[in-house]
Amino acid sequence: MPERLSCDVLVVGGGHAALCAALSASARGADVLIAERAPAFFRGGNSRHTRDVRCLHDAASPYTSGAYGEEEFLGDLARVSGQGINERLARLTIAASAQLPGWMAAHGVIWQKPLRGTLHLSQTNVFMLGGGRAMLNAYYAGAQAAGVRTLYEANVHDFSITPEGRFGGATVTVAGVDHRVEAKAAVVSSGGFEANLRWLGQYWGDAVERFVVRGSPYNTGELLAELLEQGARPIGDPRQFHAVAVDGRAPTFDGGIVTRLDSVPFGIVVNTDGERFYDEGEDFWPKRYAIWGGLIARQKGQTAYSIIDSKALVHFLPSVFPPIQAPSVQELAQRLGVDPAAVASTVARFNASVRKGAFDPAALDDCCTAGLAPPKSHWARPIDTPPYYGYPLRPGITFTYMGVEVDQSARVQLASGRSAENIFAAGEIMSGNILKEGYLAGFGLTIGGVFGRIAGEGAADYALA
C-alpha cells in the first residue's frame, strides 16, 4: 500500500452511517475509500448489533402493522429527546426515513416477515432479517462490487480542518504503518465515545470500572475529540448516554443484545444494601428499560439485583446467563452476595404492601403497592413462590450523545460560526443534534441512514464539482 492515499471521498468508520455514505457517494460516481478501525470480522461498530429501524410509512405493509405518520413520529420523538433539539433536522430525519426501507432493501437488506407466535409486527419499526451483521454484509458486498476500497484495522487520526473549514487530510494507520490520506471531501461516521472508559471516567469517576459497554470496543471517540479540538462545534451533554440494565456477568465489551435483562417489571430490584430504589413497574418495559442503566450507575458499586419468584419466569424473554436460583429469599440473597436479612425484610415489606389486582403483563394493570416507598405501580405480585431467582445487574452503556453539530446538508458546523465546506458527519457522532437524552428504539439507524445518505451524496457532489 502506498504511503499516500488519495480518493474523492474518505469515509471514516465502517458502520451503518459510514456504509450508507459510501454507497451513496459511490453511486454518484465518486471514488470512495472506507477506513474502518476494526478487523474485518468486527467491522461495523455498534451497527453490527442492531436489529430494527424506525421509519415513517403511511400504510401497513408486509413488515409493519399499521401507518406511522409524521406527527405521531415527531410526537414520540419530542416526548423523549430532551430540550433544545434542532427541530428542522428532526423533521428532515423523520420525513427522509420514509425512503430508508426501500433504499436499504435495494442495497441487499432483507426485511423480516412476521412469524406466528414469535416476533410480533411492530407499527413503527422494520426488522432486518439476520440483524445488523447481515445488513452490513450486504452493504460491504455492494460496496465491493461498486469498486469502493475498504481498509480494515485502519485507525484514522490527525484529522485536520483548515482555517477556511476545509478537510486538510488525515492519517490512517494500517498495521503500524501511517498513510496520509488526501480526499476532496470527508465523511466522519466514527460513532460516539461510549467505549472510552477513561473519557467517561471524567464524569463518572471510578464507577466506570463497573460499566459494561454493550457494543463495539472500537468506538472510543478520539476522532470526535480531534474534531472538537480542530474547531468543530460540540453538541449534546457529554454526561448523557443511553444505558440499560444488563446482566452483571456480561463481558465488558461487545456483549450486544443478549446481555440485556427484561425481568425488572416482574419482580423487585434491590441495591447492594438490599433496598429497593425505584418503581420497577412505572411503565411498559420498552418505555423504561433505558432509564435503568443510569439508575444502576448511581447505586453503590454500580450493582443491583433483580429478584423474582417462579411465577414471573415465563413473562420475559430468556437472557443469556441462567438466573441464580434458591429455595428461599434468604438463600438467594446469600448466593447473590447481599445481606440476607436486609433482602428478606425488603421482600416482606413489599409483599405486605401489594394490593390484589388482575395481573396482566400486556396492560398497565392494577397490581400495585400501597404505602410503600418507592412504590411499584404495576405488575406487583407478592414474591412468594419458590424457587426464587436473581440476576445481578450492571449499567450497560449503548452509546453517548455528545457529538458535532451539523446542518441540513450534514456539514460539520464550526465554532467560528461557519460551516465546514467538505467535511460531513453522520450517525452516532452527530445524533446529539436530534436526541439529547432519551431514545426511541430503532432511531439510531434512522439517523445514520438519513444523514449517511445526505453526507455521501453531498461529499460526492462537492468532490466531483
Partner 1 sequence: MPSLDLFEDTARQLTVCNACRYCEGYCAVFPAIESRRTFEPSDIQYIANLCHDCRDCLYACQYAPPHEFAINIPSTLAQVREATYEQHRWPQQLGPLAGGVRPLLLLSAGALMLGMAAVAALEGVHALVSAHTAPGAFYSVIPAALMELLFIALGLLWIAAWGRSATSFWRSTAARSARASLPAVLRAAGDALTLTYLGGGGQGCTYPEESFSKTRRWLHHLVFYGFLLDLASTSLAAVYDHLLNLPAPYPLWSPVVVLGTIGGIGIVIGATGLLVQKARSDRSAAHLTMLRMDVAFLAALLLVATSGILLLGLRGTAAMGALLVLHLSTVLAFFLTAPYGKFVHLVYRYTALVRFAAEQRNQS
Q: Which residues bind ligand FAD (CB under 6 A)?
A: 12-18, 35-38, 44-47, 49-53, 154-156, 189-191, 214-216, 218-219, 222-223, 256-257, 398-399, 427-428, 442-445, 448
Residues 49-78 that bind partner 1 (CB under 8 A): 49, 51
**If you write DSSP's letter for every residue of 133-156 in order, what string do you get?**
HHHHHHHHHHHHHTT-EEESSEEE
CB 134 within 8 A of CB 110: yes
| Smallest separation (angstroms) from partner 1 to the CB of 20 | 19
For residue 37 the three cell numbers come to: 478501525
Name the residue nearer to partner 1 (CB basis): 50 or 299.
50
**If you write DSSP's letter for every residue of 21-87 in order, what string do you get?**
HHHHHHHTT--EEEE-SS-GGGTTGGGGG--EEE--BSS-BTTBSS-B-HHHHHHHHHHHH-TT--H
CB 66 within 8 A of CB 60: yes
β-bridge partners, 354: 369
**CB under 5 to 8 A by kind: which of ligand FAD, partner 1, none does 116 bind?**
partner 1
Given the rule CB under 8 A, which of 30-38, 130-138, 298-306, 381-389 is the region that contacts partner 1? 130-138
Query: What is the residue type of 216?
Result: S
Q: Count the residues of the shown chain that bind partner 1, applying the rule CB under 8 A.
A: 35
Report d(CA 401, CA 431) in Å as an integer: 6
| Smallest separation (angstroms) from partner 1 to the CB of 426 | 22
Count Cα atoms within 13 angstroms, Cβ side, for 380. Answer: 27
Question: What residues contact 86, with CB distance under 8 A and at least 6 apart?
Answer: 433, 434
Among 1, 67, 78, 129, binds partner 1 (CB under 8 A): 129
**CB under 5 to 8 A by kind: which of ligand FAD, partner 1, none does 226 bind?**
none
Residues 137-166 that bind partner 1 (CB under 8 A): 137, 141
Q: Is residue 120 close enough to count as binding partner 1 by CB under 8 A?
A: no
Name the residue nearer to ligand FAD (CB basis): 281 or 403.
403
Name the residue nearer to ligand FAD (CB basis): 13 or 390.
13
| Smallest separation (angstroms) from partner 1 to the CB of 111 | 8
Do β-strands 268-271 and 177-188 pair in parallel, antiparallel, or remain unpaired? unpaired
Name the residue among 254, 243, 249, 245 with its Cα closest to residue 214: 254
**CB under 5 to 8 A by kind: which of partner 1, ligand FAD, none does 174 bind?**
none
**CB under 5 to 8 A by kind: which of ligand FAD, partner 1, none does 184 bind?**
none
**CB under 5 to 8 A by kind: which of ligand FAD, partner 1, none does 448 bind?**
ligand FAD
> Which positions lie near partner 1, rule CB under 8 A?
41-42, 48-49, 51, 110, 112-113, 115-119, 128-134, 137, 141, 251, 254, 256-259, 313-314, 317-320, 322
